[in-house]
Amino acid sequence: MRRLVATALEEDVGRGDATTRAALAPELEAIATVEAQEACVVAGVFLAPIVYGRLDPAVAVACLVEDGAAIARGAALVQVRGRAAPILAGERVLLNLLQHLCGVATLTRRFADAVYGTRAAIVDTRKTLPGLRLLEKHAVRVGGGVNHRFGLDDGILIKNTHVALGGGTAAVVARVRASAPAGLRVQVECRNRAEVEAALAAGTDAVLLDNQSVDAARALVAAIGGRVPVELSGGITLANVAAYAATGADRISIGALTHSAPAVALHLCVEKKP
């Protein structure tokens, strides 16, 4: 996190805030508050002390809400007190991060609410912005979702490309079982009943059904009959996620949680310290 913040500040501040340096007295003190301009689910407020601690350790930062809290328009997330120059220098980096992470958490909460009462969990994917994966997955979790693989090294997902290149489902699963590190869950992507049965016969730990219609997903979930957990993905939106959850699937993975979440409108209100 600290390395990410340092990189972001270096990118934005560079050799210094030329405008603030020229316009304001260096000793001028201010109070700034990050406020929500729309209702949202909070994520990432713990970054505020990291951002301002790097710019000026004397700046006092108070996180006013906890990650995962649902707040209304006008609610305050963070308050900062200290010299105006570092407060203004860190404004854009802090808001960029908070707006994106709150957006991820808010979208995740909407999906989680849409499937409430079913067995389905809303799950993220590896479709994250480079360098932001840990933060985005944190935002998914506080929004009510579940984290999938953090990287290619902490789980095995045998996709159609592996099956095609490796000589079929049975051969690939057997090779994986013989060579993969112990303890890694094996999941196989399937497109139809034949591929599902081949994956089950080969000993998969879970099945991923990709790009299925609701009716097709329901039929395949029924055919699997609880023998292994079932995940659905592809083409699932807020408009149809409840229907997919009603198929009896265990997990629904949504790439849009991280790659397409709308940024939440936040702003920094600054006033001269009395």
C-beta atoms surrounding 53 within 10 Å: 16
- Region 9-19 average pLDDT: 94
Q: Give the pLDDT band of residue 273 (cuts 50, 70, 90).
A: confident
**Annotated active-site positions, please?**
92, 127, 159, 189, 210
C-beta atoms surrounding 145 within 10 Å: 26
pLDDT digit string, tens, across residues 53-72: 999 999 999 999 999 999 99
Tracing tokens 């999941």 back to the chain, one arrives at 187
Count, residues in the chain: 274
Q: How far apart are CA 39 and CA 266, in angstroms?
A: 10
By C-alpha distance, which of 35, 88, 31, 105 is closest to 65? 35
Q: Which residues in the chain belong to E strands, given as ranges?
A: 29-36, 40-41, 60-63, 70-71, 76-83, 121-123, 156-158, 186-190, 206-210, 230-233, 251-253, 266-272
- Region 26-48 average pLDDT: 97
Q: Are 122 and 104 in contact (CB under 8 A)?
A: no
Question: For domain 2-111+261-272, which CATH number applies: 3.40.50.620, 3.20.20.70, 3.50.50.60, 3.90.1170.20?
Answer: 3.90.1170.20
**Domain boundaries of the chain, sorted by first residue:** 2-111+261-272, 117-259
Q: How far apart are CA 116 and CA 153, in angstroms?
A: 31
pLDDT digit string, tens, across residues 133-174: 999 999 999 999 999 999 999 899 999 999 999 999 989 999
By C-alpha distance, which of 124, 126, 122 is closest to 144? 122
Checking DSSP bridges between strand 40-41 and strand 186-190, what pairing results, if any? Answer: unpaired
- Residue 97 has, within 13 A of its CA and on its CB side, a CA count of 28
Q: Give the pLDDT band of residue 98 (cuts 50, 70, 90).
A: very high
Q: Give the pLDDT band of residue 89 (cuts 50, 70, 90).
A: very high
| Model confidence at 131: pLDDT above 90 | yes
Which residues touch 127 (CB under 8 Å, ≥6 apart)? 255, 258, 259
Domain 117-259 is of which CATH architecture?
A: Alpha-Beta Barrel (3.20)
Q: In what order do the strands lie in the sheet with 230-233?
A: 121-123, 251-253, 230-233, 206-210, 186-190, 156-158
Which residues touch 123 (CB under 8 Å, ≥6 apart)? 145, 146, 147, 148, 231, 251, 252, 253, 254
Q: How far apart are CA 78 and CA 2, in angstroms?
A: 18
pLDDT digit string, tens, across residues 160-217: 999 999 999 989 999 998 888 888 999 999 999 999 999 999 999 999 999 999 999 9
